[in-house]
Amino acid sequence: MAQRTGASVEREAVGRAVRTAHGKTYGLLKATVTVGDNRGFHAQGIFARPTVYDAVVRYSNGLGHQRPDHQLGAACGMGIKLFGVPGRSLLADEPDTGTFDLNLINNDVFFANTAYDYMVIEELFAELPEGLANPARRKTWMAEFLTRRGTLTDPAGWLWDELFAMLSFTTVPRRNLLSYTYNSMGAFRYGDHIAKIRTVPTAESLAALTHQIVDVRADNEAFRRTLVAEATERDHSFELQVQLNTDLARMPVDNTSVKWPEESSPWVTVARVDLPRQDIGGEDNVAAADATSITPWRSREEHRPIGEIQRVRQEVYRRSSIERHRINGQQRREPVSSAQLLGRAGRVVSRSVTPPCTRLPDLTDSQYG
């Protein structure tokens, strides 16, 4: 991982190390996360009681390249960092920072499920989008993916779920970053339960968007310019939802390439993410976003990531972050507030009253036995 992070300096030719995934950042926004008056099984961990957290949201492209948007896919990430969260972080080298991260992406499945798969697939992932766009390479690329570069000789063990998950990313439409639903893909502890997490734009926020079209052919930086325009013009909001695992057979933890069916367990809103109207148009905002570290293991024991691919991420993300910050001469230290992180890189234009979080229905034990 450190070698690949270092190699990105030469590969991307932008004078610094670039993440092997989510390499291009689109902006960093001040946010507020309001936890609702949750009931029953949904009142767990940091969502156990009503509270308000200072936060930031980082948007990025899923590929590990610094290129014009038309040379990248539409797989995009939404990283959320909360401040002032009580309890010890699961990251051993920063136990008392008070920050809590959520890594989300605009798809509901992932394309690697084991450590070995991840190591091989990550190398193929680095070839995208050319690997699938070039007809001369496409078939061999998919064959290498499916057979884990020839190490899987029995067709019964080929990575069909993972390949279909990877190809599903090519069908994501290019839209306003604030219009997507963003998913954790991997599972987490949710107190005494297991869950996945996602954000969904509120109906009023989605209806208010005016920059629906993201024309990457007309504008090399269409995603960022659209985000900057929307952020400057109005407030935006999302519902933060959880899906409890109620059937391990139909909702596997170690196969992130399989979507958990909503008929087995509905998504339930436990908090609200509000983005006040703000100016993120400066280059210092992009620099602040690029220096911000987001990892699913900056969490708490009540929300420990679970499943093999989640365990892989713990050390891979940490070492990659350390190496990238070292190469780029950036200080790797968690901020204590959105104001400290953003500085002048994000200025709230106006403040509005945050609407209350969606009230959840009472839950009974029989619903999630």
- Within 8 A by CB and 6+ apart from 334, the residues are 94, 97, 98, 99, 293, 298
Q: Quote the mean pLDDT of the chain.
A: 86
Tokens in use for 43? 């009142």
Among 171, 194, 210, the domain boundary falls at 171
Across the range 327-339, mean pLDDT stands at 85
Calculate what percentage of the chain has a pLDDT beyond 90: 60
Tell me what percent of the residues of the chain surpass a pLDDT of 70. Answer: 88
Tally the residues of the chain.
Answer: 369
112 and 165, same domain (yes or no): yes
| Domain at 299, CATH number | 2.40.180.10
Same domain for 264 and 157: no
pLDDT at position 282 = 93
pLDDT at 357: 36
Higher pLDDT, 334 or 331: 334
For the chain, the domain total comes to 2
Same domain for 291 and 242, yes or no, is yes
- Alpha-carbon distance 107 to 184, whole Å? 9
- What's 175's DSSP letter? B
Q: Is 160 found in the same domain as 59? A: no
Highest mean pLDDT among 111-120, 262-271, 326-335: 262-271
- Report residue 192 as tokens: 């005494």
| Domain interval for residue 191 | 24-106+176-317+337-368
Same domain? For 144 and 291 the reply is no
Task: Tell me whether residue 325 is in a domain.
Answer: no
Predicted local distance difference test score (pLDDT) of residue 17: 65
Q: Please indicate, yes or no, whether residues 277 and 311 belong to a single structural domain of this protein.
A: yes
Q: Given a cut of 80, is residue 345 above it in pLDDT? A: no
Burial class, 35, CB count within 10 angstroms (exposed 0-12 / middle 13-18 / buried 19+): buried
Q: Same domain for 126 and 157?
A: yes
Residue 63 makes CB contacts below 8 A (sequence gap 6+) with 21, 22, 23, 24, 72, 73, 75, 125, 128, 129
Task: Kindly state whether residues 98 and 85 are assigned to the same domain.
Answer: yes
Residue 354 has pLDDT above 50, yes or no: no
Q: Is the peptide bond before 95 cis (omega within 30 degrees of 0)?
A: no
In DSSP terms, which residues pair with 182 in a beta bridge?
199
Rounded CA separation 204/248 (Å): 35
Instruction: Kindly state whether residue 304 falls inside one of the protein's structural domains.
Output: yes
Report which residue type is found at 325.
Answer: H
Domain contains 144: yes
Q: Are residues 97 and 155 in the same domain?
A: no
* Single-letter amino acid, residue 229: A
Indicate the residue among 129, 150, 171 that finishes a domain: 171
Does 217 share its domain with 300?
yes
Torsion of CA 193, 354, 108, 314, to 10 degrees: -60
Q: Mean pLDDT check: name the lowest of 191-200, 336-345, 355-364.
A: 355-364
Residue type at position 84: G
Query: Do 245 and 102 share a structural domain?
Result: yes
Task: Looking at the structure, tell me whether residues 191 and 273 fall in a common domain.
Answer: yes
DSSP class of residue 367 equals G
Residue where a domain stops, chosen among 119, 152, 171: 171
